[in-house]
Amino acid sequence: MSFQPLVSIIIPTYNRQIELAELAESLYRQTYKNLQIIIVNDCGLSVDFIQELYPELAIQIINMPQNLKHVHARNRGLQEVKGDYIMLCDDDDLLLPIHIERMLQEIEGFDLVYPDVEIFDYVYENNARSITDRFVFAYEFDVPAMRRFSTFFSSGCIFRPEVINALGSFDTDVFHYWDWDFFLRAAEQFRVKRAPIASVLYAFSQQGSSNMSGQLDNMRPFLDMLSAKHQLGELPTKNFFLLLEEPEVKARQAVTEIIWDGKPIRSRLSK
């Protein structure tokens, strides 16, 4: 590609130094280099060390004056975007080396593209995450079906600024379901596409899921708010892995391209 568009990547973060360093390493390894990396520190521990660890990256750090949670942090990041495209990423997820290059190819003729992912479990060892398990998350793009069970992952998705200009900022009121809301609003007005490549690694640790039932209870009001907003009807609050066993979801499982060699991404923090 002769024209090298600028890709603005918004990363909200809160006290995840190890994970953030690994994400920075994955960005350093990208085959596509014209990036604006916007890290929004949600009033957590300093992340200035990332710029020192990776001086090659064009990193801009925004420090929130108070902890307003991740949706507000993403909206703050949107205010700094200078790119021709916007990409979202959670601070504990990873982008495989060809991810951005591939997404730029996939978005031609579309307004928003999201990839498939590999979900990995891990344990901490020597300032790094060691992989203990992995599985593919790939489901057909089907808007009516995704109104009941969303299979959209925001990490690694790419979209044109026109999308956010038309839709407005991410909805802080639906909180946990901001990404589902964003997808539904975008799908109503814009050309959305699933890219059949698992080029994002999505972190999920069983160590952090011990109080899942309590978390689901807390999420219920936000799910009800999302449902009312989009007229989705009654939606179940279930453990993520139980949702994957739903017949409607299993029927949408799709073939995807696997490119991860299974090796962990070690940051300069662990060396």
What pLDDT shows up at residue 240? 81
Helix/strand/coil for 41: strand
What is the distance between the alpha carbons of residues 115 and 106, in angstroms, rounded to a whole number?
Answer: 10
Tell me what pLDDT residue 209 has.
47
Helices and strands counted in the chain (H then E):
10, 10
Q: Which residue has the tokens 């992340």?
A: 47
pLDDT at 97: 99
**How many CB atoms within 10 Å of residue 14?**
18
Distance CA 7, CA 131 (A): 29
Closest CA to 72 of 45, 51, 47, 43: 43
**Beta-bridge partners for 198:** 116, 258
**pLDDT for residue 211:** 45
Question: How far, rounded to the nearest angstrom, does the alpha carbon of residue 155 sit from its chain's CA centroid?
Answer: 2
Is the CB of residue 184 less than 8 Å from the CB of residue 230?
Answer: yes
pLDDT per residue rounded down to tens, the chain (271 residues): 578 999 999 999 999 999 999 999 999 999 999 999 999 999 999 999 999 999 999 999 999 999 999 999 999 999 999 999 999 999 999 999 999 999 999 999 999 999 999 999 999 999 899 999 999 999 999 999 999 999 999 999 999 999 999 999 999 999 999 999 999 999 999 999 999 999 999 998 766 544 455 678 889 999 999 999 999 999 988 778 888 999 999 999 999 999 999 999 999 998 7
The confidence score (pLDDT) of residue 191 equals 99
What is d(CA 28, CA 22) in angstroms, rounded to the nearest whole number? 10
CA distance 38 to 176: 21
Q: Where are the domains of the chain?
A: 7-270
- Beta strand 129-137 pairing with 59-63: unpaired
Mind listing the pLDDT tens digit for each residue in 129-166? 999 999 999 999 999 999 999 999 999 999 999 999 99
Fold of 7-270: Spore Coat Polysaccharide Biosynthesis Protein SpsA; Chain A (3.90.550)
What are the start-end ranges of the H helices in 82-160? 99-106, 143-146
What span, in angstroms and rounded, lies between the C-alpha atoms of 269 and 267? 5
Report which DSSP code applies to 268: G
